Amino acid sequence: MIVREQKSPLSSKQGEAGSGARSLRHLVLTGAMLGGLCMAFMASPPSIAQAQETTNADAPDTFELLDLFGEVFNRAREDYVEEVSDKELIEAAIEGMMSSLDPHSTYMNSESFEALQTHTKGEFGGLGIEVNMDESGLVKVVSPIDDTPAARAGIEAGDLISKLDGENVKGKTLNEAVEIMRGPVGAEIVLTIIREGVAEPFEVTLIRDKIQVQSVRSRVENNIGYIRITSFSGQTQSGLEKAIESIQDEAGDALLGYVLDLRNNPGGLLNQGVSVSDSFLEKGEIVSTRGRTPENIQRFQATPGDLTNGMPIVVLINGGSASAAEIVAGALQDQHRAILLGTQTFGKGSVQTITPLSRNGSAIKLTTQRFYTPSGKSIQQLGITPDITVERARVEVIEATPQRSEKDLAGSLKNEVEGAVATENVATDTAIEDYQLARALDLIRGIGLYRSQAAN
- Please identify every residue annotated as catalytic: 323, 334, 348
Q: 152 vs 155, 159, 237, 272, 427, CA distance in Å? A: 8, 15, 26, 27, 30
User: If DSSP codes are grouped into helix, strand and coil, which group holds residue 127?
Assistant: coil
Q: Taking Cα atoms as reference points, which of 285, 262, 229 lies closest to residue 384?
A: 262
Radius of gyration of the chain (CA): 26
Q: Taking Cα atoms as reference points, which of 325, 151, 333 lies closest to residue 227?
A: 325
Helix (H) or strand (E) holding 90: helix 86-99
Q: Half-sphere exposure of 280 toward its Cβ, with a 13 Å CA cutoff?
A: 29
Indicate if the alpha-carbon torsion angle 407, 411, 417, 419 is positive or negative: positive
Q: How large is the angle between the packed helices 48-56 and 59-79, nearest 10 degrees?
A: 110
Q: Taking Cα atoms as reference points, which of 159, 121, 124, 117 lies closest to residue 138?
A: 159
- DSSP H helices, 182-263, are 236-251
Q: Taking Cα atoms as reference points, which of 100, 98, 120, 88 lies closest to residue 23?
A: 120
- How are beta strands 363-372 and 106-108 bridged, if at all? antiparallel
* Residue 187 Ramachandran class (φ > 0 left, ψ -120 to 50 alpha, else beta): beta
Strand (E) positions, 74-117? 106-108
Instruction: Provide the residue type at 412 as one letter.
Output: S
- In this structure, how many other beta carbons lie within 10 angstroms of the beta carbon of residue 316? 26
Residue 8 near residue 238, CB atoms below 8 Å: yes
Q: Taking Cα atoms as reference points, which of 97, 152, 103 lies closest to residue 128?
A: 152
User: If DSSP codes are grouped into helix, strand and coil, which group holds residue 228?
Assistant: strand
Q: Taking Cα atoms as reference points, which of 158, 125, 152 lies closest to residue 322?
A: 158
d(CA 258, CA 27): 29
Helix (H) or strand (E) holding 178: helix 174-181
